[in-house]
Amino acid sequence: MSRGYFITFEGLDGSGKTTQLRRLATHLEAEGHKVVTLRQPGGTALGDRIRSILLDSKSEATLGPIAPAAEMSLMFADRAQAIAEVILPAINSGSILLCDRYTDSSEAYQGGGRQLGSERILSMHRAACDNLQPDLTILLLPSLEASLRRARRRNRRHTQQQGTDENRFERESDDFYRRIYQKYEEIAAREPHRVIPIRDDASIDQIQTRIRELVATRLPAPVA
């Protein structure tokens, strides 16, 4: 059986990556591929617990302020579990694994946003994830202003409709998001073969078309 393919989606909150990932999954399934999807943090029982601690803005009322290095470590605990439970089994059984965020998010948010620096994140990635890298990363980088507007609107809606609160990150300052944006730019410049940025504010359909074309050029040819 041939090895599968590992694709991650990255970008600021509100960049549209989740919508694009879902649509790509539907398209690839229609083409006959086996597809597994996952989001980080989350996607395993342990990961879902970690997600609710890290994203709920009320967490710090009971737990106290979460130290940046603790936040980083929890992101990697989630990731190590997802690799063991979902990612490696999917890739080893020939599926296309589509992951909504991965280590680039830790480098951008904890390394850049929380100012822990890239080297700490990358060494944690070697230790916790055995340095497992995606084959392809689609980085959605519409303008910072557009992303922030969408993220804040989405979160208000989420809180009103479902009563859940995933605001801990969205409460951060514009400077925090500016540092994340810059770090994503740095990662794309450092790894141009793996990380493909899509920078403009084109429509959802137009961006999806570009993503499908890109993925089609990268997927290994089916074994006859």
User: Which C-beta is closer to ligand TMP: that of 146 or that of 219?
Assistant: 146
**Rounded distance, CA 167 to CA 180, Å?**
17
Cβ-proximal residues to 169 (8 Å cutoff; 6+ apart), any chain:
13, 55, 109
Residues of the shown chain interacting with ligand TMP in the complex, contacts defined by CB under 6 A: 13, 39-41, 55, 75, 101, 105-106, 109-110, 169
Closest distance of CB 194 from ligand TMP, Å: 17
User: Which helix or strand (DSSP H or E) is residue 77 part of?
Assistant: helix 68-82
User: Which C-beta is closer to ligand TMP: that of 4 or that of 41?
Assistant: 41
Closest distance of CB 158 from ligand TMP, Å: 9
Q: Which two tokens stand for residue 179?
A: 């540092």
User: Which C-beta is closer to ligand TMP: that of 127 or that of 216?
Assistant: 127
Instruction: Give the residue nearest to ligand TMP (CB).
Output: 109
Spacing of C-alpha 172 from chain mean position: 18
User: Which C-beta is closer to ligand TMP: that of 204 or that of 216?
Assistant: 204
Cβ-proximal residues to 2 (8 Å cutoff; 6+ apart), any chain:
94, 220, 223
User: Which helix or strand (DSSP H or E) is residue 138 part of?
Assistant: strand 136-140
